[in-house]
Structure formats: C-alpha cells, structure tokens
A and B are shown apart, each in its own frame.
Chain A
Amino acid sequence: MIRRKLSLAAAVVTVSALTLTACSGSEEPAADLTSVSIMAPFLEAQPPSADGAVQKKLEELTGKDVNITWTPNSSYEDKTNITLAGSDIPQIMVIQGKTPGFVKNAEAGAFWDLTDKLDKYPNLKTTFPEIQENASINGKVYGVYRGRAPMRAAVMFRQDWLDKLGLQPPKTTEDLYKVAKAFTEQDPDGNGQDDTWGITIPKWGALGTNSPYDLIEEWYGAGNRWTEKDGKLIPSFETEEFLEANRFVKKMVDEKLINPDFATFDGTKWNEPFFNGKGGIIVDVDSRVSVLINLFKQADPANFENKVGFVGNLVGPDGELHAHPTDGYSGFLAIPKAKVRTEAELDKVLEFLNTMNGKDVATLLNNGIEGVNFTVEDGKAATIKPETPEGKAVSTDIKSYAQLGMNVAGNNFYPVKQASDYEQQVFDKRTEVMAEDLKSAVYNPAAPYVSATYVAKGAQLDNIVADARIKYLAGQIDEQGLKDAIKLWDTSGGNKVKEEINKLWQDNK
C-alpha cells in the first residue's frame, strides 16, 4: 500500500511536469503590429496609471496600443527571468544592465542581435558609438541603449564654510585635502567646538560603482576599472596610482578629515551631516547638488543660496585631469526573439522604437504634455504654476515614462527650467562644468567585454579587493595586506578574468 501511494504521488508529479513542458512549448500566432507590449521598471513610489493622459498621448503619437507592464525596480531581474521562462513575453523588454543573468539569456539566443540593424533608423542611429559599444556584449548590440549623462562626478562643499574660512574651491586633489583639513580644524561653523569634519563617505565598498574611492583613484590616474599598461589591460587596482590614491585617502582618515564611521555609515543619511553642518564635503554625482540645495530651500526658503558649492573632477598629483565618466548608459531596450519572430516583425518593432525616440515622443516621455504640465520658455520646459491636478498627474507619470527614453542621439527634448534664477544658474554651471570635464574623460577600455569567469564569480572576487581597501583605510591591515589581497584576487580567478578580457580586447581591436 505504501508503495502504491508513493508511486501515485510520483505519477502526479510526472504528469504535471509533462503538462508543463508541453504547455511552455505552445506558441501564439504572430500578431500584426497594432499593439506593442513593453516591460519596464518603475522607480517611483507608484507606477503611472494605465488610463492617464501620458499613456493616451503616447498611443496617439505612436498610433499603437501600447501595453506597458510596469514592474517594481526592486525585483526587476526576478520578473525578467520569470518572463523569459514563460511564453507570455512582451515585444520590448527594458533590461537594466549587463547583469550575468541577461548575458546568459542573450548568449543563449533570447534577444535579437541589433548590431547591424540600428543605423537604418534615423532616431536609433547613435551619435555616441563608444557608448553603444560599452553597452554591447563583446561587440554585439542586444538592445537600444538608454543614454545617460556620461559625466557626473562632482565635489560638493559647504560654500558658506568656504567663504567664512576665506578659501578657494578645490581644483586638485591636494586642494581637496587642504579644504577638508580646514573644515575639520578651523571651526568652519564658528561654534567654538571641534565638532566638524571634511568629507563624509557612506558605507559604499563595491568596486567600480562610481563610489568616492573610485573617483579619487581615477583622479590619481589609476584608470576606470581597467587600464592599459604595456599593451595589456589590467584592473585599475593593480596600478601604482591605485595605491597612491588610497594612501592619500588613508592620510585623510588618519587625520580625521573623513567621518570615522565611513565603513558603516548609512548611505540613506548621506545628506544629513552636510545639511546639519557636521561634514562639509561630499564626493558624488553632480545631481546631488540640487538635492542638497532643495533641502536648504525647504528649511529656509528666504536664505538658501550660497550654501552649496561644487566643482567637477579634480586634477591629480601628476598635474593632469583624469575625469571619471560613467558608462554613459543605463541598460537597454531589448527585443525577445520568442515574441518577435521574423525580420519583418523586428523591423516593425524597431520602427516603433524609432518613433519613440523622435522629438515628439521624447518630449512627451521626458517633459510631459505642453500646455498641461509645462510651457516652453527660452527653449526650456517650465512647469506650469500653480500646478493643476492634471498637470501634477502628468508630471508624476513622466518620472516613470522617462524609463522608456533612449536618447541615443543626444537629448531630443527640452531641458527643464529650474524653479528660481539661482537654481537655474547652478544648473547651467553644472552643465558647463560637466561638458568641460567630459573632454578629459578616461573611459573603461574593457566596458564592452564580458568575461565568462567574471560572470561566474566576479562579485566575490571583487569583494576581496573592495574589503581590503576599506580595511586598509580603517587601519586593520597595512599596505602589504592590501597588496596581498590584490594578489589573492589574481590567484582566486582574477588571472583568468584578465586573460579573457585581454583576449576579447585584442580580438575586437
């Protein structure tokens, strides 16, 4: 009897397994492109409504039924994998980056290779081929990338402190040290107490994530993740400049110019010491400038100007500017083969994307609807004040719709007019500084290349060096210890990563 029951249970298991496999193979007939389905992440507190004004306008401009499956960003990858495993696949999937999961699926043939196809579509032909290259997998383009500002690194400081101490904004890393020292030791808030420090750094250890450490290393000339040396690519942490940069940071830690809890400080509270007059410098992306200004504005609308100062990238000790660019993209829009089956269908989907990337739709996705939430003033999109409920709804929704924007040929929409003249000035200066720094950008030469070994254990490998860097700065290990960790990276699989990356690099040169 026992055996019978067991085999019955086993039979149930097998039967349902069979049904499953049978069903997942079934296909729907190819539909004519009257409607387009898209899977996209949303990052706001809530997704846009399916019957909102932006949605209607989007369907009007593209002439298609657009079905967007908005998915919370926090679990986007899970949903991506589930979707690919099922048969209900959208025609367009926003992919957030070259995650190992995506690489595996792409290499297994889940997505169309668009390498030679995009140039036919005027709005999909990129004006930044190097960014498209960065977004590719070993030269193969699996999606239309979503362009992002390629230069964002900035040093923000308390302008009022700087003025009080009669200092100049830093231009070099050495200046950064001097300002940090003055902020720490010369009582910049004038309360007579030794209760301030220079730079605030939160818990942010991972390598190659545009962290303050990454920025300073690049300014020192260590390169951007990878760097060319003697005709070979090596990870930037294997350069002498990497060690120099960290000696420099360690000196600041030892002299208490950096918050002592930099290894554990909660990243969500990064603005607090700056705003509360504890730590006067933040090294991060330039958009934080407006976040900080907004905080001061909210606290004291009459007197918020000249609290926040900023400069771009800093000149390194070798007297040169090695500016730190981002990869210039944030994922891409990929087209699954399981849904779009033929070249003819692919062409229609790409035409749709071409429309999406045209001026009209780009303006909709990024600015909203003219006359409802914004008007054009001096070539800028000015928010209509006071906001009507309709205008507000559009402004909220486009924060999510902007996720569908590609802008591979530059921003095809209006820059946003800032709320006040002061903020406009700051914004214009940011644009100017970043454009200037971009000329000295040092890119990651290995960005397009995906090494199999790195896919398999890159995150753990990188933890070895990332942890050692923090331990070294915290004084738990000495420089030899840091060097040993870098060697350990090599021997635990890093040598293989280097080999693979160099081979790909040579092959694609």
Chain B
Amino acid sequence: MAAPVVEAEASGRAATRPPARERKNGRFSVHFAHYKWLYLLLLPGVLYFAVFRYGPMYGVSIAFKDYVPFLGVNGSQWVGTQHFEDFFSNPDFPRLLGNTLILAFLNLGIAFPLTIVLALLLNEVRLSILKRTVQTLVYIPHFLSWTIVASLSFLLFALDIGPLFQFLNGVMGTNIDFLSDPAWFRPLIVLQEIWKNTGWGTIIFLAALATVDQDQYEAAIIDGAGRFRRVWHITLPGIRSTIIVMLILAIGQMLNTGFEQIYLMTNALNRDVADVFDTYVYFVGITQGAYSYSTAVGLFKSLVGLVLIFGTNWLAKRFNQSGLF
C-alpha cells in the first residue's frame, strides 16, 4: 500500500512544486498561518477518513484468518495466505477471471459511452418540456431493484410467448431461448445494465454540460460550424475532464460486476459463462459462512482496482489530461 502512494506523491511533487528541501525549514509555519482556514476546512474530512474509513481497516486481516464472528477478529485463528492459495489454485479461477473481465469490458465499452451519448442527445434538445420529462423518466429504472428488472426480463424474453422473444427471433429468423442460451447471457446482462443505469449515469454529464461556455457556441455558429462539429469541437472537449475522471473511476470498479443481477439471471444452462467473482464469493462466502475467504477475494479485487486506478490516472497525466489528482 505504501509504495504507490509515496511514489505518486514524489512524482507529483516533482512536477508541480519547488524542490522539497527548499521549502522545508521554517517556511511551513508561514505557509500554515497564511492558509489556516484552508487547513481548518480540511480537518473534518480528514478526521472522517481516519475514523470511519481507516479505523475499521484492520478488518482486512480476516483475509488471513479463519474468521468466526463469535471468536472475533483477534480470537480467530491465523492461517496466512491459505485463502489466497485456495482461490488462485481453484480450477475455476481462470474461468471466473475470464467471465469477470469480459463482462467488465463489455460494460465499460458499451454502457459507459452510451451514457455520454444519451447525455449529449438530451443536451441537444431545446424543447425544455421534452428534455426535462425524458431526463426524469430515464432515471426511474435506477430505483427499481434487480429483482424487478430480472422478472421483467423473464416476461419479455419468455420462451415462445415473450414479446422480445418473438420480435428478435422473427427478425433474425431463429428460435433462440435467450434466457438459457449461454451465448446470449452477456448481451442480456449488458442490456439490463444499460436500461437500468444509463439514465442515472447521464446526470453527472448533464451537470458537466451545464458548465460548458455558451459563448463558444455563438462564435462557432458565426463561423458556420454545423451541429456535429459543434458537439465534437466544443461540447465534448468541455466535458472531457469529467469523462476522464468518470472513466478512471469506472475502470477502478470494473471487477465489481454486481452480484444480484447476475445471480438472478444465472441458471443451470448458462452458469459456465455467468459465474463471476461476485457470484462465486456469494456461494462460498455467504451461503457457507466463509467470511475470510470472501474477504480474501475482495482484497484481491481491491488490489486490482487500485492498480487500475493509479495506472489509468498515470496514463491520463502522461497524455496531459487532468486525472484524479
């Protein structure tokens, strides 16, 4: 944990500040006195992170123990890296990793850009009532639980009688049972994800779009720039930093494919492609009370997420984009 933090700190400082030695002696009190309000403002937040986020952090140690709630974290037996060994040597590991990554990239490659596209389309609407209505409507699905989304999917894709079953098979001239065919599992999951969360995701981009400078549009119109050129040259660059930050955060979370959605759509016939880390952890961790094991898997996922975040952030900086920090 310490290594990347210190590195990031060191490289960042080299780029943006005068050499440390020069500032160090005596200047801090001046600096502090000058900015005391800033440091005061920082205090509640820092305290919050220290207490509520780092306070319970000792809990990750249960990944190295055979944790039994009754015995407590300290009382449980230390087993070292046994859970990690079990996890990595599990014959299912490559399959789980593959499934998780494919689903993660599909979500990142399809659902993420679609959110931006929808936000841009909404932004182009000048009919205020339509814009507001659609904005409100597309965000409704976010509030329906995955149970509801799953049961709607069952309804729409029901064998022989589902409206989408009939429509899609009619168009393609096939007779596919989308709910059990392993080849259709991922498209279904991505489709559900798009339906449920695209509208919700647009909110942050719409807020960013609200800050794009209107003068630039006027100038572009005077220059005779068309609709798409304006979007391409003004709107998109205007929200670029938001897009990059959101992308970095999404990449950091990409191994969290979500448990409930996938669990509900899994059945005996598509399990080979459906099993991901999150559902696996459910089976091992929750139904079997193996807290330690699931913590170990969670720790692995977090490590990967951390590397991905710092990695993409570094890349963004390399290309002179604003990163997370």
Contacts and interface: CB of A to CB of B under 8 A. Distances in A.
B51 A16 contact: yes
Contacts of B159: 260-261, 264
A129 to B, nearest CB: 28
A85 interface: yes
B54 A264 contact: no
B158 to A, nearest CB: 7
A470 B267 contact: yes
Nearest to B20: A1
Contacts of A261: 158-160, 177, 179-180
A467 B269 CA distance: 7
B180 A263 contact: yes
B302 to A, nearest CB: 16
B9 A459 contact: no
B284 interface: yes
Contact of A105 (B51, B68, B160, B268): B68
A203 interface: yes
A463 B271 contact: yes
Contacts of A459: 283-284, 287-288
A51 B290 CA distance: 38
A52 B19 CA distance: 71
Interface in A73-106: 77, 81-82, 84-85, 99-105
B69 A456 contact: no
A104 B54 CA distance: 28
Contacts of B183: none
A9 B50 contact: yes
B269 A264 contact: yes
Contacts of A16: 51, 54-55
A455 B68 CA distance: 13
Interface in A92-132: 99-105, 108-110
Contact of A456 (B72, B160, B290): B290
A45 interface: no
Contacts, number: 123
Contact of A84 (B57, B70, B287): B70
What secondary structure prevails in chain B residues at the interface with A?
helix
Contact of A263 (B20, B24, B268): B268
A264 B289 contact: no
A110 B287 contact: no
- Give the most central of B269, B271, B284, B290: most A CB within 10 Å: B269
A460 B284 contact: yes
A21 interface: yes
B154 interface: yes
A497 to B, nearest CB: 13
A509 B180 CA distance: 45
Given A266-B154, A471-B268, A12 B74 contact: no
Interface string B41-57: 00000000011001101
Nearest to A261: B159
A263 B154 CA distance: 12
Nearest to B66: A104
Interface in B24-38: 24
Interface residues of B, number: 41
Contact of A109 (B6, B70, B154): B70
Given A21-B74, A474-B180, A100 B290 contact: yes
Nearest to A107: B68
A108 B67 CA distance: 11
A100 to B, nearest CB: 4
A104 B68 contact: yes
B172 interface: no
A508 interface: no
A431 interface: no
B288 A263 contact: no
B2 A110 contact: no
A63 to B, nearest CB: 31
B179 A264 contact: yes
A102 B158 CA distance: 38
A476 interface: yes
B136 interface: no
A460 B70 CA distance: 25
A100 B289 contact: yes
Contact of B69 (A81, A103, A470): A81
A470 B289 contact: no
Given A264-B269, A471-B269, A100 B6 contact: no
Interface in B161-203: 177, 179-180
A477 to B, nearest CB: 11
B58 interface: yes
Given A1-B24, A261-B158, A205 B267 contact: yes
B286 interface: yes
A264 B267 contact: yes
Interface in A31-89: 77, 81-82, 84-85
B70 A85 contact: yes
Contact of B2 (A1, A6, A265, A467): A6
Contacts of B69: 81-82, 84-85, 101, 105
A2 B6 contact: yes
Nearest to B75: A108
Interface string B8-28: 010000000000100010000
B151 interface: yes
B144 interface: no
B167 to A, nearest CB: 17
B71 interface: yes
Interface string A158-184: 000000000000000000000000000
A419 interface: no
A302 interface: no
A247 B147 CA distance: 33
Interface string A178-208: 0000000000000000000000000101000
A445 interface: no
Contacts of B287: 99-100, 459
Contacts of B150: 266
Nearest to A80: B69
A480 interface: no
A327 B159 CA distance: 35
Nearest to A467: B268
Contacts of B57: 13
B267 A203 contact: yes
B55 A13 contact: yes
Contacts of B58: 13, 17, 20
Contacts of B24: 1
B288 A456 contact: yes
Nearest to A25: B72
B234 to A, nearest CB: 41
Given A6-B2, A9-B50, A260-B177, 9 more contacts: A1-B20, A84-B70, A100-B287, A260-B159, A261-B158, A263-B180, A264-B179, A266-B155, A474-B180
A-B residue pairs, 8 tightest by C-beta: A101-B289, A470-B268, A110-B70, A261-B159, A16-B55, A100-B289, A264-B179, A467-B268
23 contacts: A1-B24, A12-B51, A12-B54, A13-B50, A16-B51, A101-B69, A104-B289, A105-B68, A105-B69, A108-B68, A108-B71, A110-B70, A260-B159, A261-B158, A261-B160, A265-B154, A266-B154, A269-B151, A457-B288, A458-B288, A459-B284, A470-B268, A471-B268
